[in-house]
Chains A and B, each alone.
Chain A
Amino acid sequence: MKSENVLEVENLSVTFATERGPLQAVRDVSFTLHAGETLALVGESGSGKSVTSLAIMRLTPPAPLVALGGSVLFTGADGGKRDLVTLDPDAMRAVRGNEISMIFQEPMTSLNPVHRIGDQIAEAITFHEHISARAALDRAAGLLDKVGIPDARRRLSAYPHHLSGGMRQRVMIAMALACNPRVLIADEPTTALDVTVQAQILELMKELQQATGMAVIFVTHNLGVVAEIADRVMVMYSGAIVEKGGVVPLMTRPLMPYTQGLLHSVPRLDPEALGLSPLEAIPGSVPDPFRLPPGCTFAPRCRHREPACEAALPTLEAANGNHDVRCRRWRRLAEARA
């Protein structure tokens, strides 16, 4: 049985108007998100992964500061399809925080410091549903309990500064889940947390996803986290998708030299691998978005490049099954490795 698509993103582009001229932060991004799955969006700073998720939520600044292109088809709970790129602001507000919600990296800056957390969660509920304040607070208490906050009813009256970082992120998740979203976009939700707390939050997100059947877009730069939670992975570089596929094929047999480089540059915990052996770093750094190279944007850092790579941007082609790669040499490189 093929699960339905909740999001179909087609040729999404995001262009910022800046003093130095137009800056294309996201270029021609297309993907689908199935109900109940976790899609990891991986990339380094400036790769466009956060801007992609903000654009889906229409949280990028309005035109003329930002120009959105392409389409984001969202299938609501009622079965109707809507293009989020062109949806009018009022209709978008009804979707945002209701059918699609988002959690951010820094739970301290995302919560309002002068309001009790119970009221902040209840606000999200009363905004979308016509229920009494008391009923909304009851639901908020239930949500806090669901995200593993002990003594939930009493915690409704706590302020954000009363809570630890991990607890604040749980509150953010409770708020995002308040209206049973079909899609949850999580932008680096565990990056600011300690590893033991990160493990708690990842575990919680997996449990909640199983219970609710929501689809998750998980934006992260941490490949360990990707391996832990993702069903499918999309790797971005300089605003474009460079590789896309199932988590196991993509992480065990990556086809794009950039993905290979990223995986190799992560230090391992293996005691035998320890001790002053240099890591396989990727030389150089991400290109300036105002001066992108004409060809493959990774070519200047790629040890497999040949002159043709620098001539034109390769297309994202289907390698096998659902595994796509943007590299004109992938076939030859895969053969050479075999």
Chain B
Amino acid sequence: MTATAAIAAPVPESPLIEVRELRQWFPVGGGLLRRGDVVRAVDDVSFSIAKGEVLGLVGESGSGKSTLGRAILRMSTPTSGQILFEGRDVTKLGRRALRPLRPRMQFIFQDPFASLNPRMTVRQIVGAPLLIQRPELDGAARDARIGEVLRTVGLSLHYAGRYPHEFSGGQRQRIGIARALILEPAFLVADEPVSALDVSIQAQIVNLLIDIRKELGVAMLFISHDLAVVGHLCDRVAVMYLGRIVEIAPTRALFRRPRHPYTEALFSAVPVPDPTIRRERIILKGDIPSPLAPPSGCAFRGRCRYALPECASAVPPLRQVDGGHWTRCIRDDLKLGRSL
């Protein structure tokens, strides 16, 4: 591997996706004569995803997780850094050069109401990627493939003539997933795909995603603010705070013993549906700081109950604390727990 891989968080044997020191900065404010500020939405993010692996990405609003997901699929052009897809640098490729790669990487959206065109039938929505990417297929072959992918997501060709409004939220999300799967991608970015759904339906879609990863072996970046859902579906989990990954680890290791105070606070804040458990909660003070004026050093230090004066001096590097378990916290003496 190259030298940069050493700085990166754990790199599997043959990564499908490799992200190196990725930055996505956005200029804000400013005008004709005035220089504006810069929002560092994604700052110095490195990680990789192996073939068939599901990496969970958790964080609160404004942490940059969606921006990161979009940048990796090249829905934006990163400010700096590198994205390697199947070993090939796709960071600066233009629209035309990206086109043959698009079928290999697809996106599942959060809102099943806004992400489906209300004037198109299910057949048109799910089949649209085929028209663009596989124009050689005739109608019958297209329909066969549409039927196949609809069955994969628990629907049938019987529904193909209907419009989105005839479906419930859960069924619409299945349609969105079918559209993402129809070109047999190797990699999916799923941005909060179950957040807009009711609990009973959310479980159906989580189960569907578990089946899909088992049967199709597709790798995923699964973006969510719900730690429990991420725990169910993902092999590894990365935690983002203010544009940076602050902890990344195999799921079980992270859930058993988080090594960053922010992860500990996140776990502590999740309400558990058992009224007989009374826990001592860690209540974080204040809000996530403005990305326009991030604090010096560790961005979390202002809300961290373990902060030391040294935390202000420099952004802590990601350091390995255990096999594949990395944290961006300088304190090695903490015994962080999960108050369950």
Contacts and interface: CB of A to CB of B under 8 A. Distances in A.
A267 B206 contact: yes
A277 B233 CA distance: 8
Interface in A199-239: 199-200, 202-203, 221-228, 230
B77 interface: no
Contacts of B269: 195-196, 198-199
B200 A261 contact: yes
Interface stretch (A112-120, A160-168, A311-319, A321-329): A160-168
A285 interface: yes
B89 interface: no
Contacts of B233: 276
A270 to B, nearest CB: 7
Contacts of B252: 271, 274-275
Given A196-B269, A276-B232, A280-B203, A252 B287 contact: no
B273 A267 contact: no
Nearest to B277: A227
B199 A271 contact: no
B170 A227 contact: no
Contacts of B168: 285-286
B199 A44 contact: yes
A179 to B, nearest CB: 28
B202 interface: yes
Nearest to B267: A269
A225 B271 CA distance: 6
A269 B251 CA distance: 11
A63 interface: no
Nearest to A282: B200
Interface in A234-291: 247-248, 251-252, 261-263, 265-271, 274-283, 285-286
B228 A271 contact: no
Given A194-B61, A267-B231, A285 B170 contact: yes
B276 interface: yes
Interface in B263-279: 265-277
A227 B203 contact: no
B272 A195 contact: no
Contacts of B268: 199
B60 interface: yes
Interface string B201-227: 111101100100010000000000111
A261 B273 CA distance: 13
A132 interface: no
B271 A266 contact: no
Interface residues of A, number: 50
A285 B168 CA distance: 8
Interface residues on chain B, size class:
35 or more
A197 interface: yes
A45 interface: yes
B281 interface: yes
Nearest to A264: B203
Contact of B273 (A200, A202, A227): A227
B340 interface: yes
Contact of B275 (A197, A252, A269): A252
Contacts of A228: 271, 275
Nearest to B205: A281
Nearest to A222: B271
A292 to B, nearest CB: 15
Which residue of A164, A166, A248, A281 has the most chain B CB atoms within 10 A of its CB atom? A281
B90 to A, nearest CB: 30
A274 B251 contact: yes
B32 interface: no
Interface string A168-203: 000000000000000000000000001111111011
Interface in A25-57: 44-45
Given A195-B225, A269-B231, 19 more contacts: A44-B199, A196-B266, A199-B269, A202-B271, A224-B271, A226-B275, A267-B232, A268-B272, A269-B267, A274-B231, A274-B251, A275-B251, A275-B252, A276-B232, A277-B232, A278-B210, A281-B204, A282-B204, A283-B204
Interface of A: 44-45, 164-167, 194-200, 202-203, 221-228, 230, 247-248, 251-252, 261-263, 265-271, 274-283, 285-286
Interface of B: 60-61, 168-171, 198-204, 206-207, 210, 214, 225-229, 231-233, 251-252, 255-256, 265-277, 281, 283-284, 287-288, 338, 340
